[in-house]
């Protein structure tokens, strides 16, 4: 990781390009913290129409970003500090420990080390890293590796350029989520579980101030919840979407004679059960890997975090206090936004608050 000159800026823009919707957050940098200037969330697929995830084309992003920036009165060429992120199967982060190496040797050594830990072809890998700490007794280095493929990074850059933007800092989704939480929560000792529930996947991060970072993606999200409702309540897509946003995992009045989305056939698990099973597996793995089971709380972020009954369901199944995370502790909120706080802004805020 080459040292870069710290940029001076007064405003910052974070853009979360999700598979179903785009979130843009515009912050003003204050002496201590940030002030929210504006934000917008806009879908990239037609509302009320069922879509096939594999058929969604990446070209749909740029026109939406252009319209959103216009609505927010942001000139793409005037943005001095733009932070975006990438995610998905061809991105990965891993915290490792290695012997101490001077800067001139570290980068080349980590490239070979990363191939042992990160499942991406070495010839196609784009690698970055951050030295977290150097242990006094052993002189070992704790390092966070972040990797992706050239194709993913190029596709992301092309989307930004097509929208008239100049790519700047590009983060990994899971790191942006961690940053959002670390900067906007009263964090005590212990370990916290972060679940960013998107449309087609859930970013899971296990992290604590003095604990090892672990991240993985769970291949379920809001799309799967809607599919559950369609199947079990014999609804069309638009009706199932409305039901999901209105009632979540709970029963609508008068629906007692209809199966709930949790009452599935034995051979088929509900989305919430599938997510819980993956979370449990990750929690067990983390205890073995990091030797720490001091789980304090599960925080839900993302659009599906607002589903009624979901936080309670996860809390009951994993036996850890669970709540929806609102990433605004260190963000000054003008009066017009006080009743418009939204957990699906967590990733975009984590991006916008990144300094370098």
Residues 331 and 184: beta-carbon distance below 8 Å:
yes
Position 230 confidence tier, pLDDT thresholds 50, 70, 90: very high
* Placement of tokens 């003095």 in the chain: 210
Position 257 confidence tier, pLDDT thresholds 50, 70, 90: very low
Looking at per-residue pLDDT, the higher value among 257 and 285 belongs to 285
pLDDT at residue 122, as a whole number? 63
* pLDDT above 80 for 265: no
Fold of 1-90+148-185+326-356: Nucleotidyltransferase; domain 5 (3.30.420)
* pLDDT above 90 for 162: yes
Report domain extents, the chain. Answer: 1-90+148-185+326-356, 187-324
pLDDT at residue 158, as a whole number? 96
pLDDT at residue 156, as a whole number? 96
C-alpha closest to that of 192 among 275, 301, 83, 98: 301
* pLDDT above 60 for 256: no
Maximum alpha-carbon separation in the chain: 68
pLDDT at residue 7, as a whole number? 52
Q: Quote the CA–CA distance of 42 and 284 in Å, as a whole number.
A: 37
Please write the tens of the pLDDT for every residue from 116-125: 778 777 668 8
* pLDDT above 50 for 3: no
Matching CATH topology for 1-90+148-185+326-356 and 187-324?
yes
Please write the tens of the pLDDT for every residue from 21-77: 999 999 999 988 899 999 999 999 888 888 888 888 889 999 999 999 999 999 999
Please write the tens of the pLDDT for every residue from 241-254: 999 999 999 888 76
Burial call 94-121: b when 16+ CB within 10 Å, e when fewer: bbbeeeeeeeeebeeebeebbbeebebe
Fold of 187-324: Nucleotidyltransferase; domain 5 (3.30.420)
Provide the strand spans (E) within 253-330: 295-301, 322-324
Please write the tens of the pLDDT for every residue from 163-210: 999 999 999 999 999 999 999 998 888 999 999 999 999 999 999 988
Please write the tens of the pLDDT for every residue from 74-114: 999 999 999 999 999 889 999 988 889 888 888 888 888 88
């Amino acid at each position: 990781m080459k040292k870069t000159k710290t940029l001076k800026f007064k405003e910052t823009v974070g853009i979360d390009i999700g598979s179903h919707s785009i979130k843009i957050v515009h912050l003003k940098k204050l002496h201590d913290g940030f002030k929210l200037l504006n934000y917008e969330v806009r879908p990239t697929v037609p509302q009320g129409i069922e879509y096939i995830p594999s058929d969604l084309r990446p070209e749909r992003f740029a026109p939406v970003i252009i319209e959103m920036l216009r609505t927010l009165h942001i000139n793409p060429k005037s943005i001095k500090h733009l932070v975006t992120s990438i995610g998905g199967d061809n991105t990965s982060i891993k915290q490792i420990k290695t012997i101490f190496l001077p800067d001139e040797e570290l980068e080349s050594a980590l490239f070979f080390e990363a191939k042992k830990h990160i499942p991406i072809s070495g010839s196609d890998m784009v690698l970055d890293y951050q030295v977290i700490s150097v242990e006094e007794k052993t002189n070992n280095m704790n390092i966070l590796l972040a990797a992706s493929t050239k194709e993913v990074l190029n596709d992301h850059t092309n989307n930004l350029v097509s929208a008239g933007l100049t790519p700047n800092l590009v983060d990994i989704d899971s790191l942006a989520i961690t940053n959002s939480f670390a900067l906007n929560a009263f964090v005590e000792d212990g370990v916290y579980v972060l679940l960013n529930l998107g449309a087609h996947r859930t970013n899971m991060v296990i992290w604590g101030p003095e604990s090892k970072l672990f991240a993985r993606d769970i291949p379920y999200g809001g799309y799967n919840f809607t599919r559950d409702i369609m199947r079990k309540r014999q609804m069309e897509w638009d009706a199932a979407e409305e039901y999901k946003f209105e009632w979540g995992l709970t029963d609508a009045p008068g629906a007692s004679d209809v199966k709930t989305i949790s009452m599935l056939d034995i051979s088929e698990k509900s989305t919430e059960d599938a997510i819980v099973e993956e979370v449990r597996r990750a929690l067990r793995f983390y205890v073995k890997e990091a030797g720490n089971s001091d789980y304090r709380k599960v925080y839900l972020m993302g659009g599906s975090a607002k589903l009624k009954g979901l936080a309670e369901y996860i809390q009951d199944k994993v036996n850890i206090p669970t709540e929806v995370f609102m990433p605004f502790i260190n963000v000054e909120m003008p009066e017009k936004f006080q009743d418009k706080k939204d957990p699906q802004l967590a990733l975009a805020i984590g991006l916008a608050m990144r300094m370098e």
